[in-house]
Structure 1
């Protein structure tokens, strides 16, 4: 399946995407699409023969729990609506807590890394098989960027991905920007990762921009693509001709001419890095000495990936992973202690990044809040978010933030407080709840979580 050169479709740049020359396909965030109808822009693109691939962000296949049937059904419905040849998701966890830990469920609002251990791999593989059985089209999974490293990891990224493909037959979506991010933040060599993973399993490639601050690379998708990321793309192209390459941009959208220029640079990078003579990709995967005793053998070809049957994951394996992921996420979003073995400074950086992203999403979901609060919105929201984890989606979070301010008698400006009260009343109830009501709600949430 040859996709070609594409770009991430976003509502903010829909007109620009339609007008860009040489676009073979686009990718749209699955959760941002309605299950029963498409935006007019995507309808027009499909009518022109442009392939649209739905890209999921909320399944959390790397989490300790089994994939949610409703989320899988939603992703499948979008795949059928788009007539797409495949769907994509991430090798990540996005929530923790709940029944496996007898604790309230926590939402990260972001993609968090899975520990590269045999136990975590076992859970991930079973979750991937469940997803594959539920979806109407093939699945490809993306490597993510990370600010933090899990202690006690047993596999490199390339080895982890190779074993995942061996066991499940899943395709790969390789993000070269994420490989660069992990090089800066975790000291991992992108060339080594590419040498270990099965390049014949690549469905397509992501390219995106970021920025380095204080020695930490932030995968922002809001900055131009940098030369180091293009160098990783060139390294990948020297090994394999990927079926598709896509430019991602999620914020601070530049003029259409700049997007076109980045696409031209990507094409030039691919052309320059192409081998002068064709060659078969080198065999890759996990060295025999590292192979798990439980890892089954499987025959693999570039065209067809067939995975063997596997025994069910033991309950205690999922429970151990659940406890570890809950401890990490709680430290990141609820201010609990740093779990043993983690870098406290890095967790603080990640925690601030999560809160900042959450503030940005709430500002988009409820743009009236930063308008009412003015320059005080960001600091007020960050103070609120540091001790109040996301648990029920961003719209509920916006309402809870407004309730929190009003109960505290904020904002101090009377006119702004009246506007915030009216905004809240229009969306929630006749009057903000009293402090006792909030305490009852919190207690009820704890009981439900158990």
Structure 2
């Protein structure tokens, strides 16, 4: 299946996307679409013959739990509504905790890396098979960017992905920006990863921008695509002609002309000079699968992921073996993203709080992990401010009270609410 050159469709740039020349297909975040009707912009694009691929971000197929049937049904419904030829998701975990670990449910609000271990691979493969059985079209999975590395990993990224494809037949969505990110942050050679991949399984490719701060590369999707990322694309093209290449942009959207120039740069990126295509060349030896592994891969994965996520979002002790500095960077990045997304889903909150919004939210989030999505997080934040008699400005507090009442309850929370919840929190060990 040939897709051609595409761009990530986002509501903020819908008009620009419709007007860009040479767009063969678009990708839309599945969770941002209704399951029973499409935005007018996507309807018009489909009428023009533009393919639309739903891209999921919340399944958490790399998590210890089995995929949620409701989330799978929602992704399947969107694929059917769009007439999509495939759907895509990520090799990541996004939540942890719960009954398997006798701990509270935790949401990362972000894609976090799975350990490249045989245990994690067993869990991922079973989850992928469950997803494949529930979807009406083929599934392809994306490699993610990471700020942190798991200790005692047993496989390289290329080996891990090759084993995943071997066992499940799933397609790959290779993000060359993420390969560059992992090169900067984890010292991994993109060319070596590409050499180990089953490139024939690539469904399409992502290209995106980022920025380096203090020696750490942040995969922001809010900055221009850099030359090193295009160089990784050239490396990939020296090995295979990918069916599709797509430009991702999620924030700080530039004018349409700048998007068009980035698309032109992607189209014109040639295969790396001097690189030898994999065709006709011996593939790296497959890492042998251990003949027997103890049962309980899900349990061990659950404990490990819960310990990591609890540290990142709730300040519990750091698990052994991780780089403490990178954990701090990741924790701050998760909190900053959480504040930013809450500001988008509830724009009235930063409007009411003004310049104090970010400081107040980060203080609130420090020991209050998200457990039920961003909209509930916004309500929880507002409730926290009200039970602590903030903001200090009476007019702002009245506005916040009205906002909360319209969305949560006819009466604002009082100090008694805070005491009850504090007691309940203590009983639950949170």
Q: TM-score, normalised by structure 2?
A: 0.96
Partner Cα distance (1:294, 1:277) in 2: 34
Alignment partner of 1:375 is 2:355 = yes
Deviation at residue 68 of structure 1 after TM alignment? 0.5
Q: Which residue of 2 aligns with 1:351?
A: 331
- In structure 2, relative to structure 1, the CA distance for the partners of 1:447 and 1:240 (3 Å cut) is farther
Name whichever of 435-444 and 328-337 sits farther off.
435-444
**Partner residue in 1 for 2:321:** 341
Note if contact 1:162-1:284 (Cα within 8 Å) is conserved in structure 2. no
Counterpart of 2:84 in structure 1 is: 84
Answer whether contact 1:36 1:81 (CA < 8 A) is retained. yes
Partner residue of 2:411 out of 403, 406, 431: 431
- Partners of 1:292 and 1:282 in 2: how far apart? 23
Q: Do the aligned partners of 2:387 and 2:417 also contact (CA within 8 Å) in 1? A: no
1:10–1:28 contact (8 Å) kept in structure 2: yes
Structure 1, residues 216-255: CA drift from partner, whole Å, max 9, x if none?
A: 0000000000000000000000110000000000000000
Give the alignment's Cα RMSD to 1 decimal: 2.1
- Name 2:239's counterpart in structure 1: 239
Tell me the alpha carbon deviations over residues 357-380 of structure 1, each in whole angstroms, 9 at most, x when there is no partner: 111110010000001111110111
**Counterpart position of 2:196:** 196
Residue 449 of structure 1 and its aligned partner are, at CA, apart by 11
Consecutive unaligned residues of structure 2, counting only runs of 5 or more, are none
Change (3 A) 1:449 1:41: farther
CA–CA distance in 2 between the matches of 1:249 and 1:439? 44
Mapping 1:33-44, distance limit 5 Å: 33-44=33-44
Specify whether residues 409 and 175 from structure 1 end up closer, same or farther in structure 2 by C-alpha distance, changes over 3 A only: same
1:10-29 to 2 correspondence within 5 Å?
Answer: 10-29=10-29
Q: Deviations over 1:414-446 (max 9, x none)?
A: 111111111111111122223442454466689
- The 5 Å alignment of 1:59-208 reads 59-208=59-208
Say which of 368, 378, 396 aligns to 2:376. Answer: 396
Q: 1:273 to 1:320 in 2, by over 3 A?
A: same
1: CA distance, partners of 2:18 / 2:402:
39
- Could you tell me how far 1:277 is from its partner in structure 2? 11
CA contact (8 A) 2:184 2:216 kept: yes
State whether structure 2 residue 288 is matched by structure 1 residue 291.
Answer: yes
Tell me the secondary structure at the aligned position of residue 239 of structure 1.
coil
Stretches of structure 1 lacking an aligned partner (at least 5 in a row): 296-312
Question: Matched residues in 1 for 2:189 and 2:409: separation?
Answer: 54
- Would you say the 8 A contact 2:86–2:138 is kept in 1? yes
Instruction: State the TM-score, normalized to the length of structure 1.
Output: 0.92
Give, in whole Å, the separation in 1 of the partners of 2:225 and 2:236: 16
CA contact (8 A) 2:195 2:278 kept: no
Query: Contact between 2:96 and 2:107, CA under 8 Å: does it hold in 1?
Result: yes
Deviations along 1:167-218, one digit per CA (max 9) or x if unpaired, are 0000000000000000000000000000011111000000000000000000
Distance 1:199 1:447, change over 3 A: farther
Q: Which of 366, 372, 392 in structure 2 is aligned with 1:412?
A: 392
Distance 1:91 1:283 in 2: 27
Secondary structure of residue in 1 paired with 2:107: strand
Residue 298 of structure 1 corresponds to: none
Task: Give the paired residue count.
Answer: 430
- Residue 3 (structure 1) shift: 0.3
Q: Distance in 2 between matches of 1:134 and 1:443?
A: 42
- In 2, the alpha carbon distance for the partners of 1:342 and 1:332 equals 12
C-alpha distance in structure 2 between counterparts of 1:436 and 1:166, whole Å: 57
1:281–1:264 Cα change, 3 Å? farther
Closer, same or farther: CA 265–329 of 1 in aligned 2, 3 Å: same
When structure 1 is superposed on structure 2, of 315-324 and 211-220 the one drifting more is 315-324
Determine the C-alpha separation between the residues in 2 that align with 1:333 and 1:435. 25
- Distance between the aligned counterparts of 1:159 and 1:372, measured in 2? 50
Q: Which residue of 2 aligns with 1:304?
A: none
Matched residue SS, 1:89: strand
Paired with 1:200 and 1:442, the residues of 2 have a C-alpha distance of 55
